[in-house]
Each structure stands twice: as C-alpha cells, then as structure tokens.
Structure 1
Amino acid sequence: MAASGALLLTAACGPVRTAQRTRSENPVFAGWYADPEGVVFDDEYWIFPTLSDYYAAPGEKLPERPTHKSSAIHQHYNIQTYLDAFSSKDLVNWTKHPKVLTTEAVPWVKYALWAPAILRHDGRYYLFFSGNDIQNDHEYGGIGVAVADRP
C-alpha cells in the first residue's frame, strides 16, 4: 500500500509538458536583483528592482567592475549605478527596460542607487530611490525622486 502511494506521488511530481509556456519559472528574469517593487499600470505588470551584481548569460562576458574605491561598506555597491525595469502583459513573458534611471541623471548619487518604488499621479510617474551608502554626516545621500511621462 505504501509503495503505491509513493509511486503515485512520484508520478504527480513529474514535469508538466505543454506546447506553450504557461509560467515564467523562477527567477522571473535573468540577473542578480533585490528589493523588487511590483506595480500594475493599466494592463501591464512592472517590476523595478535593485541591481545586486553583474550577470552574464552563458557565453556572454561580464561587464568590468569599477576599480575606484568609495566609502561604501560593501564595495560591490559601486556597481549600483543604474536601475533596470521589467514589464509584462501576462506575467510569463517579460521585457527588460535597461537603465531607466542612472547616476548620470542624478548628479548627487555616485553609487548605491537602490530600493526603488514607483507611483503614478496625474499621468506622471514618480520613481523614488535611495542614493549612496552614507556612513557619516560628511557624506551626501538620501532619498530622491525621478519624474517621467512613462514608467
């Protein structure tokens, strides 16, 4: 009796084969990200995460890491100089929108662009973010807001 129950469980856990992908798998999209902000604008799902580390698909080359040192506690914060966004109409197929915000657009942020949150008000989009890994009162950093006409 127990053996047939185990056999049934094994069969139930086998892979489901379909002609069309019905779920996005885990992770939802390739890359090393954290702090995801999920939101729905009209009929489209959006995710705004923090870049955690560089990622290269098999066969691709990783981007070069910055060589400068900063006052950040963790030097990998130096790569956090942009935010990517991802959108989907069906939660299965995702489109990457690279570098929707960069430190080039925000002069007071040098590194550690992180923890995004977004909202829409009166047809404009407001992307809140943290900037820099301030360690004392002599460093500049904090929370900023970027404004745009589209996410």
Structure 2
Amino acid sequence: MNPYRDINDEEWQRVAPLLPELRPRSELRGRPLANTRSVLNGVLWVMYSGATWSAMPRKYPSYQTCHRRFKAWYESGVLKCVMDQLFGAASEELCSMMEARMRTHMSTEEKSVQADAAPVAAPAVYNPASAEPVPASPFAFPSPFKHAA
C-alpha cells in the first residue's frame, strides 16, 4: 500500500454524499460539530496506519470524536461504502484489518449463559502449620478485641 495522505477535493466530492449529515445542535451551547472531512481523514489515518486512536496527530479532530463517528459509520455500513469508493479492491484489506483490531463485546446471550454458570468459590490458602485450608479473607476470623459476654 502507498503511504497515507488526506483525501483530496475530487475524492471528497465522491464520498461526501455517502456520509450522513449531522444535525446541528438546537441549543447554541457546547463545542461546535467537527468538520466531517477532517473526521474522515482522522478515521482513515487510524485505519491505514494501524495506530491507536489516542495516537492520532493533532491536525485531526479529537480521537474521541473520530472514534465515535467511526463506530456510527461502521455500524450503519456507511464506512464500507466510503472505503469501496476511495480504495476499490484495497478497501477489503483495510476493513478486515480494522475489524480484527476492533474490540468484540459479549452478546446478551453470552452474558446470560455466563450468569447461569455456577459461581466459582475463592481458592483456599494452604497453611503448612495446619492441614486445614485458611479462609481467603483476613476478616473471617473472630476479632481478638471483642470481649466475651
């Protein structure tokens, strides 16, 4: 692959209609929306370089913004269309590399199966002085400071 570069005006004209337009905030408080072209360049930089999101150069919007939009574009299928438009056959390799790096979250079905499993007891600590296991918690023994009534 060639070294990464930001997309040029001609490429932007091809992919801009594919990207969903974000609605401006109804209230004029908070930070203004980041430029979609800059965010796309940041997302492409991470995908192409293989670096972490937090290692993005400062010329792009914050990595949190780029990552948030990346997730939205990826889940809606927009990112795949953009990659096909920009890179053609090479987009398959970039997308598969990014998918391999993405964290996979447990589905609700996997969580329920894991919750149904029997809880595992804390391992007992072996005490060579006695043949009995010692409780794992130091607070399981009666306090020497309590007076017998």
TM over 0.5: no
- State the TM-score, normalizing by the size of structure 1: 0.20
Larger Rg over CA atoms: 2
Higher helix share: 2
Give the TM-score of the pair, scaled to structure 2: 0.20
